[in-house]
Amino acid sequence: MSASTASTAVLRAELRLFLREPFSLFWIVGFPAVLLAILGLIPSFRTPQSDLGGGRVIDLYVPVTVLLAMIMAGIQVLPPVLSGYRERGILRRMSTTPVRPASLLAAQIALHFAAALVSTLLVVAVGRVAFDVALPGHPPGYLLALLLGALSALAMGAVVTAVAPSGKATTVLGSIVLFPMMFLAGVWIPVQSMPGPLRSVVEYLPFGAASQALARAADGAWPDWTHLGVTAAWAAVLIAAAVRWFRWE
């Protein structure tokens, strides 16, 4: 069996297993759209705000919930799966077959990223249809910011898996990391609405920068290179840490 054939077989098998986990799919695909729908029911969120230059709060939350899908996939859902495979010795046993453990890792990352992309389309559709939120005004910039944010989230999930000693510890650590990252992404307070000093700090952290880049692209402009650079730098650091610390057994 060639390496490419083996990798394809692993991807197909992991896809079947992935589709059998409705709760995981809900947190990635369904939860961000549901959250956006709930927020959109708040009357003040649909009313133009003078402090937002005549914009609406719900317009700010579409990029935020798009980024939330990436965070849920990378930090909440992916780490327990990888940790479970490692704890049960699946990765170690795979090392004796033509299928390398890296193929399984790559398949899981690809599947979680694909699910997050589906969530992105759903969130954008809900925002457009239900609340008349404009479609992203600069699609290439939006896609680039989305890819960098996804890389950061998935790499952070791999780091969580790497440093946690067991499956239970992975779940706990993932939950501990999740809520601060949601705050940085602007789930509770959009980054644009944060006080100046706080926003200045958040913009140099991975999801704060990604949130700002997505918001700017949504408004029709190319994302600020500083925000893209910060997100890319964090993604590179997290990927390097995951590669350095990840244990196959």
Which residues are CB-contacts of 110 (< 8 A; sequence separation ≥ 6)?
11
Q: What is the largest CA-CA distance in the chain?
A: 63
* Mean residue pLDDT across the chain: 88
Mean pLDDT of 172-177: 92
Mean of pLDDT values over 147-174:
91
| Confidence (pLDDT) at 248 | 72
pLDDT given for residue 226 in this prediction: 95
pLDDT per position as a tens digit, 191-230: 988 888 999 999 999 999 999 999 999 999 999 999 999 9
In the chain, the number of structural domains is: 1
Q: How far is CA 128 from CA 11, 63, 121, in A?
A: 33, 12, 11
Helix ranges restricted to H, the chain: 3-19, 22-25, 31-40, 57-71, 78-87, 90-94, 101-131, 139-163, 167-185, 196-202, 206-218, 225-245
Q: Is the model's pLDDT at 60 over the cut of 80?
A: yes
Question: What are the Cα distances from residue 239, in Å, to 146, 158, 191, 242?
Answer: 17, 8, 25, 5
pLDDT at 90: 78
Split at pLDDT 50, 70, 90, the class of 4 is: low
Q: What is the pTM of this model?
A: 0.88
Distance between CA 19 and CA 106 in Å, rounded?
17
Q: Domain span at residue 227?
A: 3-245
238: tokens are 């997290």
pLDDT band at 101 (very low <50, low <70, confident <90, very high): low
The mean pLDDT of 147-166, rounded to a whole number, is: 91
pLDDT at 71 over 90: yes
Which amino acid type is present at position 218?
A
Q: What is the structure's pLDDT at 177?
A: 94
Q: Is the pLDDT of residue 15 over 70?
A: yes
Which is more confident, 3 or 88? 88
pLDDT in the model for residue 53: 73
The token pair that represents 70 in the structure block:
């990436």
